[in-house]
Amino acid sequence: MPMATVNGISINYQVRGDAKRGTDSPRSAPLVLLVMGTGSPGRVWELYQVPALLAAGYRVCTFDNRGIAPSDECADGITQADMVADTAALIEFLDEGPVLIAGTSFGARIAQELALTRPELIRRAVLMGAHARVDAFQATLSAGERDLDELGIVLPPRYQSALTAALNMSPATMADQDTALEWLDLFEFSDHTLTPGLRAQRRMNYIFDRVEDYRAITVPCLSVAFADDRMIPPFLSREVAEIIPDAQYAEIPDAGHFGYLERPDAINELMIEFFRADESTAEQRPI
């Protein structure tokens, strides 16, 4: 992946579907920017979302947020404002605005903030696991993770695997023993190294309340909840759709916080349908 120097740091990114950047689709196709959540690299989108978007005729940009190497890890500290500014600067660096954008979890928060503060950069936003505030469970979990980091406690891989599955997967997925074992093995043997950048991301202040602020968003938004999401329960995502004027809401059944991996066909269909509505609107705009 190429590196871009934006907002004072280096960001690792890749654009797919652009002949000028080594792929086959014409540059005239709309660009979708995918924003990952805390602790995960942009390549996670490559499993399901990138192929679906390319097949639908879009170009796609994925990138590693600050804190995720080889992007700058910024071990001295990271704020939400930093990550929002990084994403805006990347869009400007690519000279692509306004773009279609989709984010999950903290990535959805970045997309929401961009829609509020830099609406000229965003055409439409799909917000997976959207939330305008945190509840008591989220606040306690984030504080507990910081406590583990500060104490230097590393959970055994097998226990970490079970905990990750319990917090992020749907009971419907885990009820199938073969599928459950596949996910548990994947989580157990994934790299759990707590890098300086990951530590910095987990030290961010996750307590926020933007309920009143998001009423000013004018960008068309689709808030997508995963019905079995323990990390960001559906009522928080539904609230976002109720706050943002004219926002749409959808809820995917039998999906947890990793719903974009558990039920990729469902989320991809919703996302592409919502983005295509922008093309229909564009055709109706006066020249």
149 found inside a domain: yes
pTM of the entire predicted model: 0.93
188 found inside a domain: no
61 found inside a domain: yes
86 found inside a domain: yes
We report the CATH number of the domain holding residue 222 as 3.40.50.1820
Q: Looking at residue 19, what is its pLDDT?
A: 53
182 found inside a domain: no
Q: Looking at residue 285, what is its pLDDT?
A: 42
- Other CB atoms closer than 10 Å to residue 22's CB: what's the count? 10
Give how many domains the chain has, as a whole number: 1
92 is written with which tokens? 């400007």
Q: Nearest to residue 33, comparing CAs of 111, 109, 130?
A: 111
Catalytic residues: 105, 229, 257
C-alpha–C-alpha distance, residues 81 and 34, integer Å: 18
Q: Residues 9, 66: contact at Cβ < 8 Å?
A: yes
Look-up of token digits 């997309």: 111
Q: Looking at residue 284, what is its pLDDT?
A: 46
Look-up of token digits 């690299």: 41
C-alpha–C-alpha distance, residues 123 and 276, integer Å: 11
For 153, 157, 231, the CA distances from 150, given in Å and listed in that order, are: 8, 19, 22
117 found inside a domain: yes
Q: Hey, what amino acid is at 263?
A: R
Q: Hey, what amino acid is at 238?
A: R
31 found inside a domain: yes
**pLDDT tens across the length of the chain (287 residues):** 699 999 999 999 999 996 554 455 545 689 999 999 999 999 999 999 999 999 999 999 999 999 999 999 999 999 999 999 999 999 999 998 899 999 999 999 999 999 999 999 999 999 999 999 999 999 999 999 899 989 999 899 999 999 999 999 999 999 999 999 999 999 999 988 889 999 999 898 888 999 999 999 999 999 999 999 999 999 999 999 999 999 999 999 999 999 999 999 999 999 999 999 987 655 444 43
Q: Residues 163, 261: contact at Cβ < 8 Å?
A: no
C-alpha–C-alpha distance, residues 240 and 47, integer Å: 27
- Owning domain of residue 77: 3-154+194-284
116 found inside a domain: yes
Q: Residues 45, 126: contact at Cβ < 8 Å?
A: no
C-alpha–C-alpha distance, residues 4 and 1, integer Å: 10
